[in-house]
Amino acid sequence: MLDQTKNIEQLIEENSRLRAAVEELSILNDIATAISSTQSLEKIVDLIVHKCVKHLRVEQGAVMLLNEKDMNKPFHTMIRKQDSVISSLPYRLDAQLTGWMLKNKSPLLVNDLKTDGRFKLSADEKVSIKSLLGVPLMLKGRMTGIINVFNKHDHSGFSQNDQRLLSIIAAQSAQIIENARLYIEEQHIQEEMRVAKNIQENLLPKEVPVCDEYQFAGKSLPAKEVGGDYYDFISLKDGRIAFCLGDISGKGIPASLLMANLQASLRGQAFIGNECKDSVSFANNILYHNTDPTRFATLFYSILNKGENRMTYCNAGHNSPYLYSGDKQPVRLCDGGIIIGMLPDYEYNEKTIEFNIGDVFILFSDGVTEAMNFSEEEYGEERLENSIRKNLHLSAEEIIKEIFKDVESFTKGAPQSDDITLVIVKRMK
C-alpha cells in the first residue's frame, strides 16, 4: 500500500516535470516560429519581449542592446513592454543593473530588490520593482545585450527554471537579433554606396564637346557600384580640348576616392592651361605624395588643337590607344612614360600627331581587352581591332555602342571583373 502511494507520487511528479518540459518546449517553439517569420530588428525584439512577458508571467520585460561605440552610455533600451502600469526603472538602478551585467556577464536573479546587497537604493527612491531576472545576450563570447524581466506575478518570485528558460531564450535570440542588426547595417552601407555611385557618375562628363569638325564620345561601366576608371573632356580657354582616360589600381571605394582626386588635379591643370606632359607630371607627384606605393594609375592625357588638327598626348603607362587613318594599319600612341604615382619627379614626354579627316582615335581601359568569358578567355586586342574596323564608318557614339555590344556578346554574362571604359574622337571634316 505504501509502495503504491509512493509510486503514484512519483508518477505525479514525473508527470508534472514532463508537462513543464512540454510547456517550455512549446514556449521556445512559439518564440522561434514567431521571430523566424520576420526580418525587422524592432519587430523581432518586440516579439521576444512580448513572449517573455507572457510566458514568464511578469509585469514588465525589456531588451537592451549594447552599443560598443559609446561606452559612457553602453546600452540603449530597444523595447520595453509592460502588462500593467508601473513606473519605469529609476536611472540609478538601471545603471547599476547594466553595470553589474557588463561586469559579470551571467544571469542575475533577484527576488527582493530592497534587501539585495548587490544594489544600493537611496531611501527616497520609490522603486516599484520587487523582483527581477536578467540574462545577457552572448554571441561568440561577446556580450551584445540583455534581456530583463521584472516583477513575477507569482509571489514566490523567479525560480531556477525561469532563469533556465530565459537563458535558453537569450541564447536563441542573440544570433537572430545580431543578424537583424547586421542586416540594417548592410542596408546603410548599400545606401551609402548608392550615394557614392551617384557622386561618381556626376564626376564623369555629362555632355561631350560639340563641334562640326569633330565628334567626341565616352562611356564607362564600373565593375562594382563605384570604380577606378575615369574619363573627361575639358574645353580649355583657348579653344583647345583636353581629354583623358585614367585607370586607378584596385577597384571599389578606395579606387573611386583616388579617381576623384586625380580628376580634380587634372581639371586644375587644364584650367590653368598647362601642357600635356606638365599636367601628367603634376598628377604623378600628387598621386605619389597622397598614397602608398601600392596605389598607382595609368593615364592617357591629350590636348586636341582643332584649328591645327593636331593632337598632343602623354601616355603614362596606359594601354596604347589606336589612331585609325583610312585603310592603313592603326598607329598605337605609346609615348609618355611610366604609370603615375610611383616615382616622384619623373620626367614625362609628349608627342604631337596629325588628325586627318575621317581619322578615328580610340582610347580604352584594360577592362575592355581583359573582359573574360566563362572559359576565362580574354576579349583581347584582336577582337577589339576587328570590332573597331567593322564600325569605323559609324559616328563616335555609335562605335562605342557597337564595341560595348561586341564585348557583351563575347562575355555572355560572365561577371565583369574590371571597369570598362572607352573614349572615341572622330574627325568629320
Partner 1 sequence: MNIKEQYGAVVLELKGKLVGGPLSKRIEQTLDNFITQGKKNIVIDLSRVTFLNSSGMGILISGYSKLRENGGKLKLANVTSKIEGILSITKLNQIFENYNTVDEAIKSFN
Closest distance to partner 1 from the beta carbon of 317 (Å): 4
Considering the rule CB under 8 A, would residue 375 count as an interface residue with partner 1?
A: no
Please answer whether residues 391 and 424 qualify as being in contact, where contact means their C-beta atoms are separated by less than 8 angstroms. Answer: no
| Contact region with partner 1 (CB under 8 A), list: 64-72, 187-195, 233-241, 293-301 | 293-301
Which residues, other chains included, contact 336 with Cβ-Cβ below 8 Å and sequence gap of 6+? 277, 280, 300, 313, 314, 315, 316, 317, 318, 348, 349, 350, 351
Considering the rule CB under 8 A, would residue 336 count as an interface residue with partner 1?
A: yes
Select from 317, 364, 379, 411 the one that contacts partner 1 (CB under 8 A): 317
Degrees, nearest 5: CA angle 168-170-176: 115
Closest distance to partner 1 from the beta carbon of 174 (Å): 31
Considering the complex, state which of residue 136 and residue 367 has its C-beta at the smaller distance from partner 1. Answer: 367
Considering the rule CB under 8 A, would residue 290 count as an interface residue with partner 1?
A: no
Considering the rule CB under 8 A, would residue 342 count as an interface residue with partner 1?
A: yes
Please answer whether residues 113 and 129 qualify as being in contact, where contact means their C-beta atoms are separated by less than 8 angstroms. Answer: yes
Q: Contacts with partner 1: how many residues (CB under 8 A)?
A: 19
Considering the rule CB under 8 A, would residue 321 count as an interface residue with partner 1?
A: no
Select from 144, 281, 298, 387 the one that contacts partner 1 (CB under 8 A): 298
Considering the complex, state which of residue 318 and residue 427 has its C-beta at the smaller distance from partner 1. Answer: 318
Side-chain half-sphere CA neighbours of 348 within 13 A: 35
Side-chain half-sphere CA neighbours of 25 within 13 A: 6
Task: Map the footprint of partner 1 across residues 238-277, applying CB under 8 A.
Answer: 249-250
Closest distance to partner 1 from the beta carbon of 249 (Å): 4
Select from 207, 292, 347, 382 the one that contacts partner 1 (CB under 8 A): 292
Rama region for 326: left / alpha / beta (φ>0; ψ in -120 to 50; rest): left
Considering the rule CB under 8 A, would residue 300 count as an interface residue with partner 1?
A: no
Considering the rule CB under 8 A, would residue 337 count as an interface residue with partner 1?
A: yes
Considering the complex, state which of residue 61 and residue 317 has its C-beta at the smaller distance from partner 1. Answer: 317
Q: Report which of 345, 230, 352 is spatially closest to residue 297, judged by C-alpha positions.
A: 230
Side-chain half-sphere CA neighbours of 315 within 13 A: 16
Q: Grid coordinates standing for 409?
A: 556578346
Tell me what percent of the chain is helix, strand and coil, each rounded to the nearest 5. Answer: 40, 25, 35
What are the start-end ranges of the E strands in 67-190? Answer: 75-82, 108-110, 132-139, 142-152
Considering the rule CB under 8 A, would residue 339 count as an interface residue with partner 1?
A: yes
Residues that bind partner 1 (CB under 8 A): 249-250, 292-296, 298, 316-320, 336-339, 342-343
